Amino acid sequence: MELLYLDEVDSTNKYAKENIDSFTDKTVIYAGFQSAGRGRLNRKWMFTGSGNIYASIILKPSCEIKDVYSNLTQYLCVKLCETFEKYGVQPKIKWPNDIKINDKKISGILAEAVIKNGKLKGIILGFGVNLNTPKEILEQIDQPATSLNIEISKNVDKEIFLKKLLENFFLLYDEFIEKGFLLIKNDYIRRAEFLNKEVTVKVFDKSISGIAIGVTDFGALRLKDKCNKEHILFIGDIL
Ligand code: BTN
């Protein structure tokens, strides 16, 4: 694994995408300042101070696209949860890969793939983690948000958190690529906050509501609508 620090960047994901050919597999970029961070659903990811993590993991597992790559965000999500737990907090997962503590978002993941001439050039797993954000700044975020320093009432060393996370991420990464979501299914389900609840999922420009009854062996959401029809959702966001 190679770790690269940038003082300042518009978006670590954008930078990784634009320079994909110059990075080797398992390179991680993180930035001290991110001026135009991007989130899922065309949202922005606000810069909330240099004590937080703005990072992208660049992966080049193969030139062909494999189904398991779409589960990498869930793998990272579990690894982030395990890292948070080392600080004594109890993170919960909102399918597919938001992390919340006490019902407030603490971390988000944005995965992007670079494909040229039908070949996969790389996968970029971008993630932001609120580690040291003051309350007044959290209140400026457009959804309920928290930060690890607030949850544990002390500042968090960003470098140490990142080191713990990345060591844990790469420990089983190769095995995950081989075995897929089943390797982490129990770890994922154990932390899932959406199960057996009424949820609305946005899939592109449509939304679908129902009870989240489970997660398949491939990480997809099982949703039962009011007509008792089961839907299996591979992509989307719980609103
Ligand atoms: C989300 O929850 O909407 C995903 C947020 C992802 C934010 C991170 S910060 C580092 C990386 N670079 C970006 O522009 N976005 C991701």
205 band by pLDDT with thresholds 50, 70 and 90: confident
Distance CA 186, CA 217 (A): 10
Is residue 148 helix, strand or coil?
A: helix
Percent of the chain past pLDDT 70, that is, above it, reads: 100
For the CA atoms of 224, 42, 45, 207, the dihedral, rounded to the nearest 10 degrees, stands at: -20
What mean pLDDT, rounded, does the chain reach? 97
Same domain, 119 and 146: yes
pLDDT of residue 42: 85
Which residues on adjacent β-strands are paired with residue 210?
A: 199
187 band by pLDDT with thresholds 50, 70 and 90: very high
Same domain, 54 and 165: yes
Range of the domain at 34: 2-190
148 within 8 A of 106, measured Cβ to Cβ:
yes
Q: Domain holding 28: CATH number? A: 3.30.930.10
Measured in Å, residue 218 CA sits from the centre of ligand 1 at 24
Distance CA 179, CA 20 (A): 26
Best mutation site among 110, 124, 125, 141 for ligand 1 pocket (most ligand atoms within 8 Å of CB): 110
Phi, psi at residue 221, to the nearest 5°? Answer: -90, 130
Same domain, 132 and 220: no
Q: Is the pLDDT of residue 41 over 90?
A: no
Same domain, 55 and 157: yes
Distance CA 188, CA 150 (A): 24
Same domain, 104 and 25: yes
Q: Domain holding 215: CATH number? A: 2.30.30
Our answer on whether the CB atom of 40 is closer than 6 Å to any ligand 1 atom is yes
Measured in Å, residue 109 CA sits from the centre of ligand 1 at 6
Residue nearest to atom 5 of ligand 1 (CA): 39
pLDDT tens track for 135-175:
999 999 999 999 999 999 999 999 999 999 999 999 999 99
Same domain, 147 and 46: yes
Least confident interval from 18-22, 43-47, 160-164, 235-239: 235-239
Same domain, 84 and 181: yes
Same domain, 168 and 223: no
Give the list of residues 6+ apart from residue 9 with CB closer than 8 angstroms, or none.
Answer: 15, 29, 31, 33, 34, 35, 54
What sections of 88-201 are H helices per DSSP? 135-138, 148-152, 158-171, 173-179, 185-190
Our answer on whether the CB atom of 108 is closer than 6 Å to any ligand 1 atom is yes
pLDDT tens track for 71-117:
999 999 999 999 999 999 999 999 998 999 999 999 999 999 999 99
Residue 217: Cβ-neighbour burial (10 angstroms; 0-12, 13-18, 19+): exposed
CA 138 to chain centre: 19
Nearest CA-CA partner of 79 in 102, 60, 55 = 55
Distance CA 199, CA 212 (A): 7
When pLDDT is averaged across residues 46-57 and rounded to a whole number, the result is 97
Structural domains of the chain, count: 2
- Statement: the pTM of the whole predicted model exceeds 0.95: yes
pLDDT of residue 239: 87
pLDDT of residue 194: 94
Same domain, 176 and 231: no
Same domain, 129 and 211: no
Same domain, 107 and 156: yes
Same domain, 222 and 142: no
